[in-house]
Amino acid sequence: MQQTLILLKPDAIQRRLIGSITARFEQKGLQLIGLKFVKADRALAEKHYAVHKGKPFYESLLEFLTSGPTVAMVWQGREAVQVCRNLMGLTDGAKAPPGTIRGDFALSVQNNLIHGSDSAENASLEISLWFKPEELLNWNIVDGTWVS
């Protein structure tokens, strides 16, 4: 079982897409174990996107991520990191294939609605940035055998 961090970025909230996007993860069979509504401050955004420090889009990206509330979620399931990346689609909404979240709902490179961890190692780092351990709930899915 893997866990991954998903963020619905401020554009997803502004565009009233929380429900439509979250539905994709539920429908896939992933299990939601953490969920909160957070307005990230600069310090959190810097830690979250530390890997992009120095890139031309870095400042603009931090401004975007801190511009309004985000929904932070932890999803769990078989190969959850890659499964979520596949559901999200390519970074650039214009290039993301139809059927993916970005492919269906985004056109921009920056304002691409969603973040997903890109490796199991980064997932555990990012989960610890956004969630306290006690905010992750371990609950039994009654019919879990159908999606494991």
- Please identify every residue annotated as catalytic: 115
For ligand RTP, the binding residue among 20, 66, 76, 110 (CB under 6 A) is 110
Is 57 a binding residue for ligand RTP by CB under 6 A? The answer is yes
Q: Does 120 bind ligand RTP (CB under 6 A)?
A: no
- Window 59 to 88, contacts with ligand RTP (CB under 6 A): 61
At its nearest, how many Å lie between ligand RTP and the CB of residue 53?
A: 12
Q: Given its phi and psi angles, is residue 121 left (phi above 0), alpha (psi -120 to 50 degrees) or beta?
A: alpha
How far apart are the C-alpha atoms of 112 and 105, rounded to whole Å?
A: 8
Max CA pair span of the chain: 47
Q: Would you call 33 helix, strand, or coil by DSSP?
A: strand
Q: Applying CB under 6 A, what is the total number of residues that bind ligand RTP?
A: 10
Are 35 and 73 contacting, i.e. CB atoms less than 8 angstroms apart?
A: yes
**List 14, 63, 91, 137, residue binding ligand RTP (CB under 6 A):** 91
Beta bridge partners of 6: 73, 116
d(CA 79, CA 147): 12
Stretch that binds ligand RTP, among 10-18, 38-46, 68-76, 115-123 (CB under 6 A): 115-123
- Of positions 66, 118, 122, 124, contacts ligand RTP by CB under 6 A: 118
Binding site for ligand RTP (CB under 6 A): 52, 57, 61, 91, 109-110, 112, 115-116, 118
